[in-house]
Amino acid sequence: MRHRPEYKVVIMGGGGVGKSALTVRFIHQIFVSAYDPTIEDSYRRNLNVDGITVALEVLDTAGTEQFMSLSSLYVRSGDGFLLVFSLTLLDSVAELHTIWEQIQRIKETTHGTAAAARGGGAGARAGAMGEKLERPRVPVVLVGNKLDLQHERQVGREVAVNLSRSWGGVPYYETSARKEINVAAIFEDVVRQMIKADAFASS
């Protein structure tokens, strides 16, 4: 399948939910118990998914989402998103709503415009013919992290599953950066979605 040389995944969510721990676990296969909360950094790694090797850029954001201008830059630059909350903090789920809405707002318009500008793509063609062809949604994975802290858990599985349904069925995973549970899986899932979205845009 045709695909781009590099995809960019942006990790977003509230402070302290484990964005950096997940990123560092994925990139370096280690768990960091203390990580500077202000660090925003990008990392590169190749990942093989279903026999396709893609180069990934992973942007670990610094939880400065309250500054919407910065947050919108993150969203614009990303091809796919891991939206992370902590299973041990109910408030961290609510923080994802604004991010999700921002992704929808920014990506719906930029996708549409790009397809129209190229004058091609299945979406643009279907639009021109007045049909509705379902474009794959923006690649997003919902991530509930700190699964290992069972005794501190505040967010039930059904709460997150309902949220993922309300977002049109985005995949939901429960992870532990500490115990290395589902860390590779969330990156693989978003990469699969990005490859698919890309194939659609160029079909």
List residues near Mg ion by CB under 5 A. Answer: 19-20
CB of 27 to ligand GDP, least distance (A): 12
Binder of ligand GDP out of 40, 57, 148, 188 (CB under 6 A): 148
- Tell whether residue 153 is a contact of ligand GDP (CB under 6 A): no
Half-sphere exposure of 41 (CA within 13 A, CB side): 14
Binder of ligand GDP out of 9, 12, 20, 155 (CB under 6 A): 20
Residue keyed to tokens 């969203």: 75
Q: Which is nearer to ligand GDP, 69 or 150 (CB)?
A: 150
- Tell whether residue 151 is a contact of ligand GDP (CB under 6 A): no
DSSP 138: P
Asked if residue 88 lies in contact with residue 149, where contact means CB atoms within 8 angstroms, the answer is yes
Q: In this chain, which stretch among 16-24, 68-76, 94-102, 132-140 interacts with ligand GDP, using CB under 6 A? A: 16-24
Rg, the chain, Cα only: 17
Residue nearest to ligand GDP (CB): 18
Alpha-helical (H) ranges within 80-137 are 91-118, 121-128
Asked if residue 84 lies in contact with residue 58, where contact means CB atoms within 8 angstroms, the answer is no
- Tell whether residue 17 is a contact of ligand GDP (CB under 6 A): yes
